[in-house]
Structure 1
Amino acid sequence: MAEQQPSVLLNTGAQMPLLGLGTFRLRGPEETHRVIDAALAAGYRAFDTAAVYRNEADLGSALRDLLPKHGLTRGDIFITSKLGPQDQGSRASAGCAQSLEQLGFEYIDLYLVHWPGTQGLRVGDQQNPRNRAESWAVLERFHADGKFRAIGVSNYTPGHLKELLQVCRVPPAVLQVEFHPKLAQRELRALCRETGVCFQAYSSLGTGALLTDPAVLAVAAGCGRSPAQVLLRWAVQQGVPVLPKSSQPERAVENGRVFDFHLSEEDMGKLSALDCGEKYCWDPTAVA
């Protein structure tokens, strides 16, 4: 990876790297330190965590220890974290403060509402939209105080996003959702383009299921790349930021090699033709 990797311009004026390391699988300080060390050496400059991952403290500690080793400062990296569903609504302020404390930095580059629902409530409970609104108001306050440089949402449907856009004072900078060739999210992507929200992908590999898909394997064989690299390249070639996750340093490095090759229009079409609306992760469509 080049030292200055490609990025996208957020509606805050900040640049967010097109490639970030998802840390969902990282467990414990030793594993976290090892993977973050390899990722920084490979050129990763964005790191995605969440309260529910229970590794914010380990990530913050690893970055503080490793940034000087790699000749970097806090300003050279982009950290994303998320408000857990258990803190939606009245507990949002405490949840936001805890993420800041756990990471141990003065600010977080991007902070997201992780899920449109609230832990402990039924998906159809009409308290969910009220809790979302309360959480967003809290994120806006942390944003105004400079603690969150940008704020956004994750796992929102078009309906949830439209609801937020109608009432927010600070528009979301990012929408992070499941996105891969079998789930092209056309409606959400169009809405994000229309409203200036950056559309960001997670689960680009379909939780691993797409790594053995015949069409993906054929494209990978044709260009001499791994199936994972092909799937990630399919997204970034469309300008969609990705967050591949791995607890194996060598795999994280391999996944990061997505800017030194190009998929042909034919190969892009073969992958895009897989779209069938299949979800491998959380499905937020029933959340009121």
Structure 2
Amino acid sequence: MSSSSPSVTLNTGVQMPLLGLGTYKLQGSEVVRCAVDAALAAGYRAFDSAAVYRNEADLGRALRELLPKYGLTREDVFITSKLGPKDQGERAMEGALHSLSQLDLGYIDLYLIHWPGTQSLAVSDQRNPGNRALSWATLEELHAQGKLKAIGVSNYTPAHMKELMQSCKIPPAVLQVEFHPQLCQTELRRVCEEYGVCFQSYSSLGRGELTANPVVMEVAKTCERTPAQVLLRWAVQQGVPTLPKSSSPDRIQGNAQIFDFSLSQTDMDRLSALDCGHRYCWDPSEVA
């Protein structure tokens, strides 16, 4: 990994950048290539995809073509992808190998179970826990083969995490969930800390809506920064890796400028006080 990219150390001993480019809704080879180009130029060294984003092939191609432009190799970037809910359970091997093939980068740095449930099953269906366990065993197998350098989960609740920790042979390296000042996830962060799991954020900007929050705007004005930079800084200042998504080169560059300033404790507390349990994304709490 590039030493110029601030990072956290996972329980595998591997370094994962604190800032990565989220690629949700980035569709089309040219759109993906433009975003990756802007991100590499701005210093991003981590890229987050998923089977359900339907852009793994475009992301892999863009990286293979653009890394030499910046004097970088495959080993200089950290790639995350995720197992789709339709492949949860018996189809996990097929799904993971498809992601590896689509990205075509030799290996995946971090591969996550995207959702604790299974597509086509009700959230209350008691087959969900068994499918999760089967998926995890598959990820452990591919990890042992070196195809997945680290494995983890996304959208798991404290109960899902405790269930996994009781049965896994290899503990998850990362839990990726929605996290922002209105959803501080205090209990989940405590569980991750107890188990030595890296807590990672997505939707740090509340799907863009939080950038218009009056408190966020006031803090941004005081800091002479953008609301987006303030929200991202609030996360990384707590040691939480974050994955802002954008297709705009200007915003991609702006979102990277979060390591040359700090928020005061007063501003951190003001932002954290916005916590009200509000979600802008899906809620996994009902999944059996």
TM-score, normalisation: structure 1: 0.99
What corresponds to 2:109 in structure 1?
Answer: 109
Mapping 1:1-288, distance limit 5 Å: 4-288=4-288
Residues in 2 aligned to 1:177 and 1:253: alpha-carbon distance in whole angstroms: 23
Could you say what secondary structure the match of 1:13 adopts?
coil
Q: Which amino acid aligns with 1:163?
A: E
Among the aligned pairs, what percent are the same residue?
A: 69
Structure 2 stretches lacking a partner, 5+ long: none
Deviations 1:34-60 (A, max 9, x none): 110010011000000000000000000
1:26 offset after TM fit, Å?
1.1
**Does the 8 Å contact 1:49/1:81 carry over to 2?**
yes
- How many pairs does the alignment contain? 287
Question: Which range moved further: 53-62 or 243-252?
Answer: 243-252
Residues in 2 aligned to 1:105 and 1:247: alpha-carbon distance in whole angstroms: 22
Q: Which amino acid aligns with 1:177?
A: V
Structure 1 stretches lacking a partner, 5+ long: none
Could you say what secondary structure the match of 1:82 adopts?
strand
1:3 offset after TM fit, Å?
6.5
Residues in 1 aligned to 2:129 and 2:25: alpha-carbon distance in whole angstroms: 30
RMSD: 0.8
**Does the 8 Å contact 1:25/1:247 carry over to 2?**
no
Could you say what secondary structure the match of 1:153 adopts?
strand
Residues in 2 aligned to 1:149 and 1:176: alpha-carbon distance in whole angstroms: 16
Residues in 2 aligned to 1:93 and 1:161: alpha-carbon distance in whole angstroms: 21
Q: Which amino acid aligns with 1:125?
A: D
Residues in 1 aligned to 2:117 and 2:139: alpha-carbon distance in whole angstroms: 16
Deviations 1:89-127 (A, max 9, x none): 011000000000000011000000000000000000000
Instruction: List structure 1 segments (4+ residues) > 3 angstroms apart after TM superposition.
Output: none
Q: Identify if the C-alpha distance between structure 1 residues 139 and 277 changes in structure 2 by more than 3 Å, giving closer, same or farther.
A: same
Could you say what secondary structure the match of 2:79 adopts?
strand
**Does the 8 Å contact 1:3/1:43 carry over to 2?**
no
1:25 offset after TM fit, Å?
2.4
